[in-house]
Amino acid sequence: MMLLFGIASWAQGQNACPTCTTQLPDPLPADTLYLAPAPNGRVGEFYSANISFRVPRSTTPVAAVDTTVTPGITINRITITGLTNLPAGLSFELPQAVFNLPDSTDGCVNICGMPLQPGTYLVNVTLTAQVFVLSQQSTFTFPIVIEPAQSITDGFTMNNASGCGPVTVTFENNVLSGGNPGFSYFWDFGNGNFSPEENPVPQTYSAPGQYRVQYRAIVDTVGHILTKVRILQVGCTDLFNAPDLKIFLYAPDSSEVFVSQEFQNATLPLEVLINAPIGEGNYRLRVLDLDNGIIGGADDECGAITFNRTLSGELDGGTLRAFLELINPVDTIISVDTVEVFPLPATPFIFGVPNGPLCDGELLSLSVNYPDGVQWYRDSLPVLPGDAPVLELSTSGNYYVSYTSEDGCRVYSNLAYVEFEPLPTVPAFTVGQNRLTLFDPAALPAFAVLQWYLNGEPLAGENGQLLCITESGLYQLVVTNGFTGCSNSYSLPVNYNPNLPNCVSSSHENWLENAGVRIFPNPGWDLVQVEMQLDAPATVHWQLTDVNGRAVAGGIWEAPEGTLRRSIEAGHLPQGVYFVRLQTQEGFGVKKWVKR
C-alpha cells in the first residue's frame, strides 16, 4: 500500500500539463505494448503532445522489447514508475499510473512545455510488472525530436524583394531586441555586403539574378536553468524501508526556489524535474528524509550541495551526491529568403510613324517590334484592345506602346505624335448659265488650291472659283489646303446648254500679266525659276501641283516691293506637267510648267 500511495503522489506531482485523453487506433490487439509516436518539437515553440498507450496483459509483448523478461506470464498489475530523459524544458502529466489487469489496460500521458535545446531524445519509460507477489521492472524507450529554432521567413521581412532592373530592398527585423542585451545579428545580403546591425540599411541589387539573403539572430536572454536533478547518494536511511525523500532548492538569499513532492520509499537514483532559473550567486540543493513524527522521529538531513550557474554535472556535497543538469539555452533564429532581379527587355520601337500630318478620314498603321506582350496607349490612356503588334488609328494624339516580358518587366517606347488635320470645307458650287461657281469662297482655307475635274480627269489650268463649261458631264471641284495637303471635293452632274452665250472662267490671266509673272526655264529640269513684280511688300503663297491637283511642294515668301526672284527645287520630281500657283492679297494665278 505504501508503494502504490507513493506512485500516485509522484504522478500528481508532475501535473504541469493539460489532462490528456486516450485515443487508440482500431483495431489494436488486447495483449500488446503500444505507445503512440511523439510528434517533433522545435526550440522556442510551445510543445504539447497527447500520447496514448496500452499496457500488456502478459509478459510476451514486454519480452519483445526487453530480453530480460520471460514471456508467456500473465500480469496482474502494471505500474508506470518513471519517464526520464525528457528534453530540457518539458514536463509531463500522467493521470493514471497503476493498471489492474485485465480490466484496465489503456491510458495516456501529456508531454508539454517549451523545449530549450535541439536534439533527438530517447525518453525512458520504466514499468513494474506484478505477477502474484513477485515484481519485475522493465524499461523501454521512445524518441522525441526537438528541431533547432529556425525560421525561413519569420526572421525578417523584405520590402521590394523582386523587380526589374536595379532593385533596392529594405529589410525589417522581426526579432527585435527592444534595447535589451543578449541579442546579436548577422546579415549576408547576397550582393557582397554584410551587416551585424539590428536594422540594416537598404541594399541595391543592380545586375539581374537571384540573391540569397541569409539572416541569423542569436538570442541569449533566458539565462541558466536547472532542468533536473538526479539524486545518486544520500546520507540518511529509514529504519524499515527506503527513506521518504523531499528536495529543496534555495536561492542565494535563502528563499525557496523549488520544493518537490515527497518520494516515499525512494529508490536511487531518483530523478526530479525542476526547470528553475539560476541567477548569479550560490544556490543550495537540500534533501530531507521525511519521518513525519512516526517511529523515526524528526525529519532527517540527507545532505546539501552548494552550487552556482557555472557548475553542473555530478557534484559531491559529502553525504549527498547528485547530478545537476544545468543549461544555458540560446535561441538561434535562421531565416533565408531570395531577392530576384529580372533583366529589363529592350525598349520597343514603333514603325510607320509619318513624317508629317495626315488628313481626317485616313487610316494609319503603326507596328512594334514585339509580337506579343504589348499594349498601345494614346495620351496616357490604353487603347482597347490594343494588344496586337499592329495598331490601326485615325485619331490625333501621342501614341506609345509598352512591352511586358514573361518575368513581368515592363518597358515603354518613345512617344510618336500623330496628327490628323481637318479636311477643308466641302467646296460646293452652283450651276447657272453654263457657269459653275464656288458657293462660299469665304470657307476656303487661307492657302487653298482649287482644281476642276470633268468625268474624273483634271481640267488643265482650271484652278479658279468659276468654271465655264462647254460639255455635259460629271463635274468635280477639289479644294486642297496648301499648308496641310488635305483635300475635299464636291461633285455634281451638269448638262451643257449650247443655246447660252460663252462665259469667262477666271480673271487670273489678267493678274498674272499685270504682275509680270515669269516661269522659266519652261520646259526645265531641276529648278523652277519664278519672277514677278510687286507694287508693295507682299506675302506670296506658292504651291507646285501635279496634273491631278496634288501639292508636291509649297510655302510662303515674304517679299519687299520690287522684283521678286525665287527658285523652286524640282529635281526630285518625275517628268511631266506641273502647275505653279501664286497668290497675294492682290489676286492669284496659275502657270503651267513642264519638267523634261
- pLDDT tens sequence across 364-401: 999 999 999 898 999 988 787 888 999 999 999 999 99
Query: Distance from CA of residue 408 to its chain's centroid?
Result: 11
The Cα angle at residue 473 between residues 472 and 479, in degrees rounded to 5: 120
Q: Which residue has the cell 539555452?
A: 329
The Cα angle at residue 180 between residues 177 and 181, in degrees rounded to 5: 105
Instruction: Please state, in angstroms and rounded to a whole number, the distance separating the CA atoms of residues 282 and 158.
Output: 46
For the stretch 398-401, contacts whose Cβ atoms lie closer than 8 Å and that sit 24 or more positions apart, written own/partner, are 399/350, 399/366, 400/350, 400/376, 401/348, 401/350, 401/368, 401/374, 401/375, 401/376, 401/377
* Cell representation of residue 340: 530576384
Q: Note the pLDDT of residue 9.
A: 33
Residues 450-477 as b/e (b if ≥16 CB within 10 A, e otherwise) read bbbbbeeebbebbbbbbbebeeeeebbb
Q: Note the pLDDT of residue 475.
A: 97
Least Cα distance to 220 among 264, 176, 184 occurs for 184
- Residue 62, SS3 per DSSP: helix
DSSP assignments along 560-593, one per residue: -SEEEEEEEE-TTSPSEEEEEEEEETTEEEEEEE
Q: Which residue has the cell 500500500?
A: 1
Residues 6+ away with beta carbon under 8 Å from 5:
264
Largest Cα–Cα distance of the chain, in whole Å? 163
Instruction: Please state, in angstroms and rounded to a whole number, the distance separating the CA atoms of residues 44 and 333.
Output: 10
Instruction: Please state, in angstroms and rounded to a whole number, the distance separating the CA atoms of residues 554 and 580.
Output: 9
Q: Which residue has the cell 496514448?
A: 52
Q: Note the pLDDT of residue 502.
A: 67
Burial of 347: CB neighbours in 10 Å, binned 0-12, 13-18, 19+ = exposed
Q: Note the pLDDT of residue 365.
A: 96
596 residues of the chain, pLDDT tens digit each: 222 323 333 333 344 688 899 999 988 999 998 999 999 997 778 999 999 999 999 988 878 877 777 888 898 998 887 777 777 778 888 899 999 999 999 999 999 988 766 678 888 787 888 887 677 777 778 899 988 544 345 799 888 888 888 888 989 899 999 999 899 999 999 999 999 999 999 999 999 999 999 999 999 888 899 999 999 999 998 777 789 999 999 999 999 999 999 998 898 999 999 999 999 999 999 999 987 645 545 788 999 999 999 888 999 999 999 999 999 888 889 999 988 888 989 999 999 999 888 999 999 999 999 999 898 999 988 787 888 999 999 999 999 999 988 877 889 999 999 999 999 999 999 888 888 988 888 889 888 899 999 999 999 888 888 898 989 999 999 999 988 889 999 999 999 988 876 665 544 445 677 788 899 999 898 999 999 998 888 888 888 888 666 778 888 899 899 999 999 999 999 988 888 878 776 666 778 889 98
